[in-house]
Amino acid sequence: MPDRTVAPPIVDAVNFNLQLQPYQKYILKNGVEVYAVNAGTEEVLQVEWVFDAGNWQETKNLQAAMTNHLLKNGTSARSAYELNEYFDYYGAYLNRNCYAETATLTLHCLSKHIKELLPAVKEVIADSTLPEKEIEIAVQNMKQKLDVNLKKSSFVAGRLIDVYLFGEDHPYGRFSRHEDFDQLTREDLLGFYNEYYRNGSFKIFIAGHLPDRIDQLLEQYFGDLPNNAAAKKTFSILPSAEKKHMVINDDKNNQGSIRIARPFFNRHHPDFLKCQVLNVLFGGYFGSRLMANIREEKGYTYGIHSYLLNNRYDNGWMISTEAGREVSAAAIEEVYREMALLREEPVDAEELLLVKNFMMGSILGDLDGPFHIIARWKNIILNDLSNDFFERSIQNIKAITARDLQEMAGKYLHPDAFYELTVV
């Protein structure tokens, strides 16, 4: 019997031995790769179809996002209402999302209903009709949403900082206008759908309590789709020549939306993992340097965060906050002050251990459940990283030193490398 009067020893999270449960891989007869994680105690599933159908592939602005949005709004056999009723009947949810490089269809359902639901998903992928009436409704709704969002300084700041980093013609910097909706035709959407969904390449990620012969079911319904890889497009980055920008969005606005960002490298760069740790220390969690200074000490904001963008190709390092209009300039100066401290002074052992424990604890939480596990693998696979990337990330957190962090800050945290934007 353990002695309940004696507290168990405290173990720092940095000493945990974290392992990422491996996936099972199937390849369908058409070459489609399936990555599966069989885990969890509940009889639920998540199946995600990831297509090379993001903004990167479009020839007209909004072509990718609008096509993805309309996928489940009607097929030759069923209307949008009937499709939604069908998924609702089985207690399932079919969601869709469009990103810069990829677009997804994601099914959440009970494991026992997967046989009934997979044919409907295939119908959406291979037989969507993109009805004209549904397009009109979607355009009207998206225009109204855009009008509402354009009144928000945070929304405007998010659009503009990407333009300054990458250029307005780059997929990462492109944003929507009213005229883009008006210029988009049903033929544009059908052409994109036929090339990148009906005949396009995709991968399948599945996690949860996997039913027997799930590989055979996926083969039955998706093994005969074309799966043609699209030609890889390249884009030139044309950043803004001016580094500092002030935009007046509303003369009466008392709040400023601040974005400070610099171009950065992707996950394949040898400094990326070290900079992930530096970012957490700088502004990546509630106890970060930026939070302690600008929120807790100065009271300029309710929250300030820094993060590395999640792009596959060209990347960026972003600091984001909302501050009072009259203290926005002071908040920006404090950001640069914290950069200087990280360049000039090594972090002490206690703070470094706190950051390491936070990162290890966050990863431990992210490994709780099959959906989180497959999300980790999806990130690794879609970014063409080696299967040991997770292990290398863990070892980097454990082994990184104060000297390493100061070296990274000296290389990358210089104000003259950052674009600065304030929208009020």
| DSSP output for 162-182 | HHHHH-TTSTTT----HHHHH
Alpha helix segments (H runs only) across 286-399: 289-290, 328-344, 349-366, 370-382, 389-399
Positive or negative: CA dihedral 34, 38, 39, 43: positive
pLDDT at 4: 84
Residue 65 near residue 212 (C-beta atoms within 8 A): no
pLDDT at 252: 84
Beta bridge partners of 128: 75
How many CB atoms neighbour CB 314 within 10 A?
Answer: 19
Burial, 285: exposed, middle or buried (Cβ in 10 Å; 0-12, 13-18, 19+)? middle
Determine the residue type at 275. Answer: C
Got the DSSP string for 127-155? HB---HHHHHHHHHHHHHHHHHHTT-HHH
Residue 387 near residue 381 (C-beta atoms within 8 A): no
pLDDT at 368: 85
pLDDT at 5: 84
pLDDT at 13: 83
Between CA 369 and CA 148 the distance in angstroms is 37
The kind and range of the H/E element at 279 are helix 272-279
Residue 106 near residue 95 (C-beta atoms within 8 A): yes
pLDDT at 213: 92
pLDDT at 232: 84
Residue 96 near residue 68 (C-beta atoms within 8 A): yes
pTM > 0.85: yes or no: yes
The domains found in the chain, sorted by start residue, are 24-222 (3.30.830.10), 244-423 (3.30.830.10)
* Ordered per-residue pLDDT tens for the chain, 424 residues: 778 888 877 778 888 889 999 999 999 999 999 999 999 889 999 999 999 999 999 999 999 999 999 999 999 999 999 999 999 999 999 999 999 999 999 999 999 999 999 999 999 999 999 999 999 999 999 999 999 999 999 999 999 999 999 999 999 999 999 999 999 999 999 999 999 999 999 999 999 999 999 999 999 999 999 999 988 899 999 999 999 999 999 888 889 999 999 999 999 999 999 999 999 999 999 999 999 999 999 999 999 999 999 999 999 999 999 999 999 999 999 999 999 999 999 999 999 999 999 999 999 988 889 999 999 999 999 999 999 999 999 999 999 999 999 999 999 999 999 999 999 9
Between CA 189 and CA 122 the distance in angstroms is 19
Q: From residue 255, give the alpha-carbon distance in Å to each of 148, 290, 313, 350, 421.
A: 17, 19, 33, 35, 13
According to DSSP, the β-strands at 419-423 and 244-247 are parallel
> At what angle are helices 63-70 and 132-149 packed, to 10 degrees?
120
